[in-house]
Amino acid sequence: MFGVCLSQRSLRLSLKMRVWVIFLLCLAGKALAAPTEEEPVVEETEVGANPVQVETGEFDEAIEVEEELVTETENPCLNHHCKKGKVCEVDDSNTPMCVCQDPSTCPSSVGEFEHVCGTDNKTYDSSCHFFATKCTLEGTKKGRKLHLDYIGPCKYIAPCVDSELNEFPLRMRDWLKNVLVTLYERDEDHNLLTEKQKLRVKKIYENEKRLHAGDHSLDLLAHDFEKNYNMYIFPVHWQFGQLDQHPIDGYLSHTELAPLRAPLIPMEHCTTRFFEQCDADNDKYIALEEWADCFGIKEQDVDKDLVI
Ligand SMILES: *[C@@H]1O[C@H](CO)[C@@H](O)[C@H](O)[C@H]1NC(C)=O
Ligand SMILES: [Ca+2]
Ligand SMILES: [Ca+2]
């Protein structure tokens, strides 16, 4: 996706003002060094990169990779891609096919940060172990219901009460805006943003009234949203566009939302509830209109053309 590595620091989304270090992520490579609770990797910016840019492929369990047949003589598996949890094997007639990966063949995890928690509230050693296990349940009801819930070992997640639920979008919006500004600042020729996007962010970046990144109180965040409402419209749309990829249809599925949800849940215990209530009509998809509404964007400001 992007040809750069973004190392990132504190995503100050947490309720208790804890500083959460997120990832040192290399988007070009497949490295996902994950959250630790130690003090962070020193970084020049305050803002975290967007978890959405964390290797999106990590979560696209439901995305079927086409099992293309390639006329390779030597190794038919060479160009035969399988979706997560499967590996390629050749049958008697040398035809490649995707079969469930044996979890014991997954690289062993080097630390807790590689663990993932499934919706069955079971901890898996790594996402490889998770998807391999899910594959073995394919076709069963249990398999259909099993998703990767979040990154890290399963833990107790406190219930999200109403007052906390209302705080979530305040921090999230602020954070999205800051992520965009950071991408803009760093984007000389890295193509982190398209030209169109850059123009949009430039307006925010150059606005003197902009609330700069920092540890702001919820009151200030709320006040800023009222005062500088227009600055938040694009970031909310942009995030939607980042997620709406498989397919690009104006709706977010559970799987499309996963790259944002999965790293966020262990830090923000209202994540699950927030995105559940975003799906106002309960059809299991979050439409752009629902998404915008969730983040306090007025109906008349929802604009498909901003999702670019
Ligand atoms: C999930 O597992 C964790 C750790 O084993 C436990 O503390 C937590 O209470 C469980 N959550 C639920 C909803 O059962
Ligand atoms: Ca979609
Ligand atoms: Ca919906």
Q: Which of 123, 149, 154 to mutate to test the pocket of ligand 1 (most atoms within 8 A of CB)?
A: 154
- How far away, in angstroms, is 252 Cα from ligand 3 center? 9
Strands of 27-142 (E only): list them.
Answer: 32-33, 86-90, 96-100, 116-118, 123-124
Measured by CA distance, the residue closest to atom 8 of ligand 1 is: 156
- How far away, in angstroms, is 282 Cα from ligand 1 center? 26
| Residue ranges around ligand 1 (CB below 6 Å) | 121, 154-156
Is 3 contained in some domain?
Answer: no
Is 139 contained in some domain?
Answer: yes
- How far away, in angstroms, is 157 Cα from ligand 1 center? 8
Say what the pTM is.
Answer: 0.73
The predicted structure's pLDDT at residue 113: 87
The predicted structure's pLDDT at residue 79: 87
Measured by CA distance, the residue closest to atom 7 of ligand 1 is: 156
Q: Using 50 as the pLDDT threshold, list the residues of the chain that sit under it.
A: 1-57, 72
For residue 254, the ligand closest to its alpha carbon is 2
What distances in angstroms separate CA 147 from CA 51, 60, 98, one per listed residue?
A: 18, 10, 20
The predicted structure's pLDDT at residue 302: 97
**CA 230 – CA 59 distance, rounded (Å):** 32
Is 65 contained in some domain?
Answer: yes
Is 160 contained in some domain?
Answer: yes
H-helix segments, the chain: 127-136, 141-145, 162-186, 195-206, 218-227, 230-243, 254-264, 271-278, 288-294
The predicted structure's pLDDT at residue 58: 53
Peptide bond into 159 cis (omega under 30): no
Is 6 contained in some domain?
Answer: no
The predicted structure's pLDDT at residue 64: 53
Measured by CA distance, the residue closest to atom 10 of ligand 1 is: 156
- Asked whether the beta carbons of 20 and 11 are under 8 A apart, the reply is yes
Is 2 contained in some domain?
Answer: no
Token pair in block for residue 240: 């939607």
List, in order, residues 6 or more apart from 145 with CB less than 8 Å away.
Answer: 119
In this structure, what CATH number is given to the domain that contains residue 250? 1.10.238.10
Domain limits for position 187: 13-306
The predicted structure's pLDDT at residue 112: 85
List, in order, residues 6 or more apart from 119 with CB less than 8 Å away.
Answer: 145, 146, 147, 148, 149
Is 227 contained in some domain?
Answer: yes
The structural domain count of the chain equals 1
The predicted structure's pLDDT at residue 22: 30
Is 5 contained in some domain?
Answer: no
The predicted structure's pLDDT at residue 13: 35
**CA 180 – CA 61 distance, rounded (Å):** 27
The predicted structure's pLDDT at residue 71: 52
Tokens 């940060």 correspond to 113
